[in-house]
Amino acid sequence: MLVARSVAELRAARHEASGLVGLVPTMGYLHRGHISLVDAARAECGTVVASIFVNPTQFGPGEDFSRYPRNEEHDLELLEAAGVDVVLIPTVAEMYPEGDTARIHMDGLTDVLEGARRPGHFIGVATVVAKLFNIVQPDFAYFGRKDAQQLAVIQGMARDLLMPITVVGCPIVREPDGLACSSRNIYLSPEQRQQAASLSAGLRQAEAAFQDGVRDPEALRNSVRRRIEQESLAAIDYVSLSDASTLRELADPVEQPALLSLAVAFGPTHLLDNITLVP
Amino acid sequence: MLVARSVAELRAARHEASGLVGLVPTMGYLHRGHISLVDAARAECGTVVASIFVNPTQFGPGEDFSRYPRNEEHDLELLEAAGVDVVLIPTVAEMYPEGDTARIHMDGLTDVLEGARRPGHFIGVATVVAKLFNIVQPDFAYFGRKDAQQLAVIQGMARDLLMPITVVGCPIVREPDGLACSSRNIYLSPEQRQQAASLSAGLRQAEAAFQDGVRDPEALRNSVRRRIEQESLAAIDYVSLSDASTLRELADPVEQPALLSLAVAFGPTHLLDNITLVP
């Protein structure tokens, strides 16, 4: 496994790559969810590139950029064991060169849900992913569905900018009690960690209602809320039922695939989860 | 010469291309300036792609999108004679797919000079060029220096987004009396056309003063203004002396390469010209 710490090293390795190239962009501190993305890439591509870059422009003032968890040595062990061919670990100076001003905006997709809670977040995400795409020039790129809005933004960007890249959304990987794997889960106290299982439990409860024929958006959102509100330490940021591709909040009964998504805070830690409801 | 009217056709042709690929993006209605870009591409690249696309998103409300001059048949003759291998003429529907929202912003570079006069113009330019780059995946792309700010925006975008593309700025091609070639020159009445030679004359006058040691920015701008103000039909939009890469207006004596640029209206027609002053 080659570790490229500069764009030039990565490009040289890319030049030697055989077959289709798959990219798994990450911010490091890897868990089973990330490794499932590597597995998906390995299944489709002759060469698998993973990147580790904690992207400053997607963190707002007062967010957890500086304390975002990092463990490069362990990440490299996991990626090597998973069969990654090349790891890109670029510097901030090379990713954001002097005079840098280019930012990719996607109005509508980026200013709702997580984007409303974190202004500018998805502009930073879209921009850094475009940079990674231009460095690696992959045929396929893999993202987890846990960050559903991130996936919608990146798929929308690739479509709108006519990028020659297929953006693949991969299933959420969960802990045995249903909690979606996330690098931020380590921030949870034991009691918070236990209560955090209510997120997926709430989504499953709404999904069961949906399968029983409930189509009213507010009834489905309330089903999720009621379950989470049973937990003393959980503060709901939002529970959303939106069109799965435009992310527009639904007012009318569900007739198209819909994204049921939520963000819930346990103290300073915000957790995300979602399911897609298909009529 | 192949004419590709869809992204798929272009990509198939791109796949067969040999050697380096050069792209000359145009809005059509070609003149000698465009052909000089093709010549530059031919000199460096094994395959030359030209595109013709009048990009709606770079025209503001009330600007000349619908009346922008078009002559595809003649353009194709000129491109074939110049030795172009592939011409891309995409549709608006394919360039701006349903749900399209992605826009590339470059604050600072895009909101001064022409960007101040035409809000959103360079967002549209950067976005469409990124799309063309993603379709064609050229090694080199060629732009005229007449649109100096456009060149700075696209060079900045390629640098910031780490695009694997060299953006080449080519010399301004002029008429015998000094007027910079432009598709919009046909809008000029005979009298306006005659007076339009004052733009390059004003720039040359300031350049002569610069060579005589004048370094004060306002003195250099005034030298240009004085010459153009002799013409009864010319209305100056701006005369600017700015840092050549950041486009920040200069207040202090010129010590670095500086861009002396102007926009002048003759009736509804706005003409651009510029020179670079190198101490």
Which residues does chain A have within 8 Å of residue B137's beta carbon, measured at their own beta carbons?
A: 164
Q: Do A99 and B163 touch (CB under 8 A)?
A: no
Distance CA A240, CA A255 (A): 16
What type of residue sits at position B30? L
Which residues does chain B have within 8 Å of residue A159's beta carbon, measured at their own beta carbons?
A: 97, 99-100
The nearest alpha carbon in chain B to A111 belongs to: B101
Contact A8, A88 (CB under 8 A): no
Determine the pLDDT at residue A204. Answer: 98
CATH 3.40.50.620 fits A2-170, yes or no: yes
> Under DSSP, is residue A19 helix (H, G, I), strand (E, B) or coil?
coil
Superfamily (CATH H level) for A188-273:
Pantoate-beta-alanine ligase, C-terminal domain (3.30.1300.10)
What type of residue sits at position A3? V
Q: Mind telling me the catalytic residues of A? A: 34
Which residues does chain A have within 8 Å of residue B246's beta carbon, measured at their own beta carbons?
A: 99
| CA B225 to chain CA centroid, nearest Å | 22
Contact A230, A194 (CB under 8 A): no
Superfamily (CATH H level) for B186-274:
Pantoate-beta-alanine ligase, C-terminal domain (3.30.1300.10)
Determine the pLDDT at residue A64. Answer: 82
Distance CA A43, CA A214 (A): 38
- Spatial neighbors of A57 by CB under 8 A, at least 6 apart, are A96, A103, A120, A123, A124, A127, A128
Positive or negative torsion for Cα A8, A134, A64, A167: negative
Q: Do A164 and B104 touch (CB under 8 A)?
A: no
User: Shortest Cα distance from B268 to chain A (angstroms)?
Assistant: 31
Please state, in angstroms and as integers, the Cα–Cα distance from residue A60 to each residue in A52, A106, A121, B171, following that order. 20, 18, 7, 43
Choose among B96, B163, B245: nearest Cβ to A134.
B163
pLDDT(A18) > 90: no
Distance CA B225, CA B205 (A): 10
| A→B interface, C-beta within 8 Å | 7, 11, 95-97, 99-109, 126-127, 130-131, 134-135, 137, 156-157, 159-164, 245-246
Q: A133-159 pLDDT, tens per residue?
A: 999 999 999 999 999 999 999 999 999
Which residues does chain A have within 8 Å of residue B104's beta carbon, measured at their own beta carbons?
A: 102-105
Write out the two tokens for B254.
Answer: 């010129």
Please give chain B's pLDDT, 279 residues, in tens: 999 999 999 999 999 998 999 999 999 999 999 999 999 999 999 999 999 999 999 999 888 898 899 999 999 999 999 999 999 999 999 999 999 999 999 998 999 999 999 999 999 999 999 999 999 999 999 999 999 999 999 999 999 999 999 999 999 999 999 999 999 999 999 999 999 999 999 999 999 999 999 999 999 999 999 999 999 999 999 999 999 888 999 999 999 999 999 999 999 999 999 999 999
The DSSP result for chain B, as a single string, is -EEE-SHHHHHHHHHH--S-EEEEEE-SS--HHHHHHHHHHHHH-SEEEEEE---GGGSPTTSSTTTS---HHHHHHHHHHTT-SEEE---HHHHS-TT--EEEEETTTSSSTHHHHSTTHHHHHHHHHHHHHHHH--SEEEEETTSHHHHHHHHHHHHHTT-S-EEEEEPPPB-TTSPBP-GGGGGS-HHHHHHTHHHHHHHHHHHHHHHTT---HHHHHHHHHHHHTTSTTEEEEEEEEEETTT-PBP-SPP-S-EEEEEEEEETTEEEEEEEEE--
Which residues does chain A have within 8 Å of residue B108's beta carbon, measured at their own beta carbons?
A: 101
Q: Do A106 and B105 touch (CB under 8 A)?
A: no
ipTM of the shown complex: 0.94
Number of residues in chain B:
279
- pLDDT confidence bin for A25, thresholds 50/70/90: very high
Q: Do B134 and A164 touch (CB under 8 A)?
A: yes
pTM (2 decimals)? 0.95
User: How many Cβ pairs closer than 8 A exist between chain A and B?
Assistant: 93
User: Shortest Cα distance from B197 to chain A (angstroms)?
Assistant: 35
Which residues does chain B have within 8 Å of residue A120's beta carbon, measured at their own beta carbons?
A: none
User: Shortest Cα distance from A174 to chain B (angstroms)?
Assistant: 32
Domain boundaries, chain A: 2-170, 188-273
User: Shortest Cα distance from B153 to chain A (angstroms)?
Assistant: 9
Q: Mind telling me the catalytic residues of B? A: 34
The label of the residue with tokens 């007062």 reads A62
Backbone conformation region of residue B270, classed left if phi is above 0, alpha if psi is from -120 to 50, else beta = beta
Q: Do A135 and B162 touch (CB under 8 A)?
A: yes
